[in-house]
Amino acid sequence: MKVIRNILAVSLTAIILTGCAQKQEEFTDTHNSKRLRDAVVGYMSEPMFRSKDFVQQITGTEADLKLYDMDEKTLYFAINKTDFDSNTTLNKLTIDRSTVEFGFEQNGDVFLGSYTHKGTDRLLFRMPKHDFKPDSSRGVTVKFRDGISYTQTILELADFADDSTVYGGNTGVETGKNKYMANHGAFVSVKGETSLSRFLEQIINENDKNETKAQKILDFVTREIAFSQREAYGDYEILKRPNEVLMTGVSDCSGLTILYASLLEQTGIDYRLVYFPGHIAVAVAGDFANHNKLRIKYENEVYSIAEVTVKGFTIGETVLMNKNAAEEITYIQKPGKDSKIINYKTGKPME
């Protein structure tokens, strides 16, 4: 199975006024941070990893990113003519307005470079990536039911994009000759990540017991994040960071597990990632019932499997169709910096 780790890491730099004196004055940390620009452009150009209105929220305009030409390092935007204001719109998007090029209308379409936009209801324009102006005061909000929302600042977004707030490490582990398994623990958020910590305040109460917290968090994940058939059964293993799962609102067992584990991480509740053939889940420490026979004992601690893909799953209670699931665990992992994936049967770490 090939692993797609999205291209939002800052290290992957190939992803997107007037005179020189004035231009230099406008080069501030707020609007000319290469790190922020790389992060924002990376997310804008990868719809699979961000919310639908991400571009509008992060730029404060109604523009859509239609194309990021990685060879030209050029961003192509489109916007309804009625939403475009030459001063306001361009001032929010670019450092140097003189570098902006607009498309021309011909035969009912708009042309710019090698890009064609059907119809003439929208303006098409492009700018060099290095003139795109990220605004560090902006952020992105995703709304869920019951008044719950997830908000991340552009700085928190950049921290996720360059893996500063996930544990990181090798993304693949060799399990046999030409056989590999994705290291999901590398995408789990570190404890103390600020956007997830704020988010949890809407879901759990500080005085809740750990078992109650774990169940409330699981209820949110199984209720609000849709299961993606595309991600589950595609030719590639698509791995998302927790903020990306929240922004998109969809994922397979991989993303659901990463999100649930990342939220547990913020609470300090002990847990393990448990790997099955073609599947992954979370085992949570605590005094849960064992009516569904999904309890395991590992390193003198009792854990109960939380199935993130089953809506309404109650830890210790909900019975799965596969009643022997606990016996099929192949690997187990405690996420952390450079954490090892352990063979569940032998207790030996994977290379």
Which is nearest to 166 in space by CA: 250, 232, 243? 243
Query: Average pLDDT, stretch 3-14?
Result: 38
pLDDT score of 31 more than 90: no
Asked whether residue 142 is assigned to any structural domain, the reply reads no
**Boundary residue ending a domain (131, 152, 187):** 131
Which range is least confidently modeled, 57-66, 78-87, 164-173?
A: 164-173
Torsion of Cα atoms, 180 then 184 then 186 then 192, to 10°: -170
Mark out the alpha helices in the chain (DSSP H runs). Answer: 20-25, 34-44, 54-59, 88-93, 154-161, 194-200, 210-224, 229-233, 242-248, 253-267
Taking CA atoms, 291 is separated from 258, 307, 315, in Å, by 26, 14, 9
The rounded distance, in Å, linking the Cα atoms of 258 and 127 is 36
pLDDT score of 241 more than 50: yes
Asked whether residue 158 is assigned to any structural domain, the reply reads no
**Boundary residue ending a domain (131, 157, 182):** 131
Q: Which residue has the higher pLDDT, 282 or 21?
A: 282
The rounded distance, in Å, linking the Cα atoms of 5 and 128 is 26
Both 77 and 200 in a single domain? no
- pLDDT per residue as tens digits for the range 323-332: 899 999 999 9
Both 84 and 192 in a single domain? no
Taking CA atoms, 276 is separated from 106, 195, 279, 310, 328, in Å, by 57, 30, 5, 16, 6
State how many domains the chain has: 2
Query: Average pLDDT, stretch 210-223?
Result: 98
pLDDT at site 331 = 97
Q: Where does the pLDDT of residue 32 fall: very low under 50, low under 70, confident under 90, or very high at 90 and above?
A: low
Q: Which residue has the higher pLDDT, 220 or 9?
A: 220
pLDDT at site 175 = 74
Asked whether residue 188 is assigned to any structural domain, the reply reads yes
pLDDT at site 333 = 97
Asked whether residue 149 is assigned to any structural domain, the reply reads no
Rounded to 5 degrees, φ, ψ at 271 are: -155, 170
Asked whether residue 98 is assigned to any structural domain, the reply reads yes
Query: Average pLDDT, stretch 217-244?
Result: 94
The rounded distance, in Å, linking the Cα atoms of 117 and 105 is 9
Two structure tokens written together for 333: 């992992």
DSSP string, 103-132: -EEETTEEEETTEEEESSSEEEEEEEGGGB
Both 122 and 177 in a single domain? no
Whichever domain contains 334, its CATH number is: 3.10.620
Q: Which residue has the higher pLDDT, 221 or 12?
A: 221
Both 36 and 109 in a single domain? yes
Two structure tokens written together for 204: 């759990």
37 DSSP β-pair partners:
none
Both 84 and 199 in a single domain? no
Both 179 and 288 in a single domain? yes
Asked whether residue 141 is assigned to any structural domain, the reply reads no
pLDDT at site 17 = 25
- pLDDT per residue as tens digits for the range 163-199: 999 999 988 887 776 677 899 999 999 999 999 999 9
Two structure tokens written together for 241: 């960071």
Taking CA atoms, 33 is separated from 26, 94, 240, in Å, by 12, 13, 24
Share of the chain above pLDDT 70, in %: 90
Both 203 and 253 in a single domain? yes
Q: Which domain holds residue 20?
A: 2-131
Which range is least confidently modeled, 23-27, 32-36, 201-205?
A: 23-27
- pLDDT per residue as tens digits for the range 96-122: 999 999 999 999 999 999 899 999 999
Both 122 and 24 in a single domain? yes
Asked whether residue 87 is assigned to any structural domain, the reply reads yes
pLDDT at site 177 = 65
